[in-house]
Chains A and B, each alone.
Chain A
Amino acid sequence: MPEQNRQERRDRLTPRQRLEAYGKGLPVDRLPCVPIVGNTAARVLGVKVSSLRNEGRVLSDAHLASYRRFGYDNIRIFTDLYTLAESMGARTRVPEDETAFLDEPAIGSISEIGSLRPSRPKKDRILSEHLEALKRVVQEVGDEVPVTAALTCPFTNASFLIGAVNLSRLVLKNPEAVHSLCRVSLESALAYADAIFEAGGTPSLTDAMSSSTVISPRQFQEFSFPYLKALVDHIHAKGRPATLHICGKTGPIWHRMADTGADCLSIDNDADLLAAKHEIGDRVRLMGNVHPSAIMLQGSPGDVREAVMQCILAAGDSPKGLVVASGCSLPIETPFENIDAMIDAVRDFGYPDDRSARFAEANTTVPENG
């Protein structure tokens, strides 16, 4: 199977070796690259999207197949944002071959907040399947590539508990209710984080509703920041790095996102990578931000290549580093050749300074298999 091991033909380092050397400023073969593969993994394995969510074994097989097919630098176990809220009583709908979505929040009004209980991840059917998948992937390839599991952060999870419109109103009308929802969400998130550690992985923080497209920087500071900081602190206490993704516009809150202590910020395509480098590049590693739909789904491999170059030109020299990535999770039907094109472009580019040249020089004795 010539396709399966393409990264071994061209990459000289495993993702772990690359990230470690990159973090120390040592010579590396190329920049780290993470096309954020979620349910696209179902297409690599040739199974229905819903079977990823429902069966840990299939979920792990799909991510292993996808990692081996494309050779990116981080595996992220993720099917949809709703798993944690579902374990607390929200209802989801799971179409056979599409991403699951929220059908009904856990509660209809603030009078029911007291009835919410923190999640018990290992007792929950869906979360335990995700944990099983994580464990299997870690066992299989954890020594060569970081394996993470997506963790929906408290403010976003709160929106799934009571509904996004309700939560948005409460932000102004009943801040204490919002905090109650965030607190119980944080308890669940911490419990899930611990289960993720136990399975050998690291939580990957995702907080869609905390976007400046939705709430103001002041509201972020009040309703998102304390809970994000608690999660980052928890991850650091385990000696692991924390990556934080917030969708949409985030420019107004970059510094606050960095203040959470996160080591890497994943920047959406709605945000400007060059501006991010100037503002916070000396505080956090940046990750981003090729447009998942306009470029990765609908563009040609040439468009992908062009977009990757734009990212590297903008932030390839960012002081704390750049992970070339899609701005958000890839759409399910993203063509494989576009994912290949992203990593190939990064391979061809090498490294913005002479580090890849020095790497090549130091490794000339390694036989070229490609």
Chain B
Amino acid sequence: MSETSEPSLFAALSDAVLNMDEDAARENAIRVIRERIDAYRAIEHGLVDGMNRAGQLFEDEEYFIPEILLCSDAMYAGLDILDPHIDRSRQRLRRKVVIGVVEGDTHDIGKNLVKTLLDAAGFEVVDLGRDIPPARIVDTAINEQADVIALSTLMTTTMDGMSEVIELLKAAGRRDALKVIVGGGPVSQAFADRIGADGYAPTAPAAVKLLQRLFEESAHA
């Protein structure tokens, strides 16, 4: 458990994710536990780092959905091993995100990617799944005391459900208590502005950056 092995082990975890290698992710995660290296740091500097690099390759159009899915499989393979070993008492307060695909739409590739990346970036994600009525999204967010509602759609026909979520939040007097972000093929920044969302992200990595930026801004406000 020498200090010097840490960086190479983190790099190996990161590479395992980037190279879509589930076996390598597991093996290196087990080494982290054996060598009593901090699991949370291994997740952050290893698995999440690998996912961030994969996200960058996705933005650069070198990786596509199939690669990102296999990267996230490798990340979860490592995460399954490391997660029980996280020292939760030391962990900083995690922001909670309720995520779902609005009613009428059962496409969830995009939503799953956002969930994976948010999870990896340290957000606590409550995944409602797909085809979810606006009222259930809002009720869950309020009950879970979430900080964020993240909404996805791939179908133009279901976009109205997004503005309904915001209207329901307003009606419940909770609009200011939560950030609402939207994404998905037919959605645009203009649409996000029109329905009064806090932000729009065109890709999954952009959704993570958007939330990090929104919370940075509110911390400095």
Contacts and interface: CB of A to CB of B under 8 A. Distances in A.
A215 B190 contact: no
A169 B190 contact: no
Contacts of B190: 294, 298
B194 A298 contact: yes
Nearest to B68: A168
Given A101-B106, A164-B109, A212-B61, A293 B66 contact: no
Contacts of B156: 292-293, 297, 328-332
Contact of A292 (B20, B66, B109, B186): B186
A287 B179 CA distance: 38
A98 B104 contact: yes
Interface string A165-191: 100110111000000000000000000
B107 A172 contact: no
Interface in A273-332: 291-294, 297-298, 328-332
Contacts of B194: 298
A101 B104 contact: yes
Contacts of B67: 172, 216
B185 interface: yes
Nearest to A166: B69
A214 B157 contact: no
B33 interface: no
Given A247-B185, A293-B156, A293-B191, A172 B66 contact: yes
Contacts of B63: 216
B188 interface: yes
A298 B192 CA distance: 12
A233 to B, nearest CB: 27
A58 to B, nearest CB: 19
Interface residues of A, number: 37
A23 interface: no
Interface residues of B, number: 31
Nearest to A291: B188
Nearest to B202: A270
A219 B69 CA distance: 15
B182 to A, nearest CB: 12
Contacts, number: 84
Nearest to B70: A172
A248 interface: yes
B33 to A, nearest CB: 27
Interface string A91-112: 0010100110111000000000
Nearest to B195: A298
Interface string A146-178: 000000000000000000110011011100000
Contacts of A93: 106
B79 interface: no
B159 interface: yes
A294 B188 CA distance: 7
Contacts of B104: 95, 98-99, 101
B170 to A, nearest CB: 20
A173 B20 CA distance: 11
Given A165-B69, A172-B70, A331-B157, A219 B64 contact: yes
A103 B104 CA distance: 10
Interface string B102-139: 00111111001000000000000000000100000000
A173 B22 CA distance: 12
A48 B108 CA distance: 26
A164 B107 contact: yes
B66 A98 contact: no
A303 to B, nearest CB: 10
B86 interface: no
A248 B187 CA distance: 12
B65 A215 contact: yes
Contact of B109 (A168, A270, A293): A168
B188 A214 contact: no
Interface in A75-129: 93, 95, 98-99, 101-103
14 contacts: A99-B157, A101-B105, A101-B106, A101-B131, A164-B107, A172-B66, A172-B70, A215-B65, A297-B156, A298-B191, A298-B194, A328-B156, A329-B156, A331-B157
Closest 8 CB pairs of A and B: A331-B156, A171-B66, A293-B186, A168-B66, A294-B188, A216-B64, A293-B156, A214-B65
